[in-house]
Amino acid sequence: MKKLLLFPLLIIVNTAFSQADTSIIKFINPSVLAAPHGYSQTAQIELGNCKMVIISGQVAFDNKGALVGKDDFEKQAEQVFLNLKNTVESAGGAMDNVVKLGIYVVDMSQIQTLRAVRDKFVNLKRPPASTLVQVNKLFRDDVLIEVEATAIIPNKK
């Protein structure tokens, strides 16, 4: 009997958060970023009084898709965080709205440089939750850092 009651609930939950329900989830490619190929730059989920913005991993591409800072970790990190800032702002928020960062680097010895750049962009009194991972390689040999983010942005009244 309990299994029969659970099945309709699963359908309701699945329907409420389905990617096909365009009233809740929007996939947006802001003009401040290079056009993606095969993915969306952001998924924006309406939560009532706020929206969650999930930002795909950003690398050091300018809005035309050209790499900024070849062989220069600091310049690449600055472009990555600038991309995140511009993306959050294009969604109506600010970097203070970022609640989670996922950071992938090919060289962990650059952690102090990474922190110095990151600290120019995040709220140091209330920094976002964060994960830092060293990887063997990113999708291109000349890309040294990739950062994904999640922001919770209050809806304007």
Q: Is 144 exposed, middle or buried (0-12, 13-18, 19+ CB in 10 A)?
A: buried
**In angstroms, what is the C-alpha Rg of the chain?**
18
Query: Has residue 57 got a pLDDT over 90?
Result: yes
The residue segments making up the domain with residue 42 are 23-154
| Residue-level pLDDT at 145 | 98
Of residues 3 and 152, which shows the higher confidence score?
152
Taking alpha carbons only, the member of 95, 94, 89, 71 closest to residue 32 is: 89
Question: Domain for residue 127, yes or no?
Answer: yes
The answer to whether residues 4 and 10 touch, using CB atoms and an 8 Å cutoff, is no
Q: What pTM was computed for the model?
A: 0.84
Question: Domain for residue 12, yes or no?
Answer: no
Q: How many domains in the chain?
A: 1
* Residue 104 bridge partners (DSSP): 133, 146
| Locus of tokens 């309701």 | 12
Question: Domain for residue 5, yes or no?
Answer: no
| Residue-level pLDDT at 22 | 61
The β-bridge relationship of strands 129-134 and 98-105 is: parallel
| Residue-level pLDDT at 23 | 76
What CATH number has the domain bearing residue 115? 3.30.1330.40
Question: Domain for residue 11, yes or no?
Answer: no
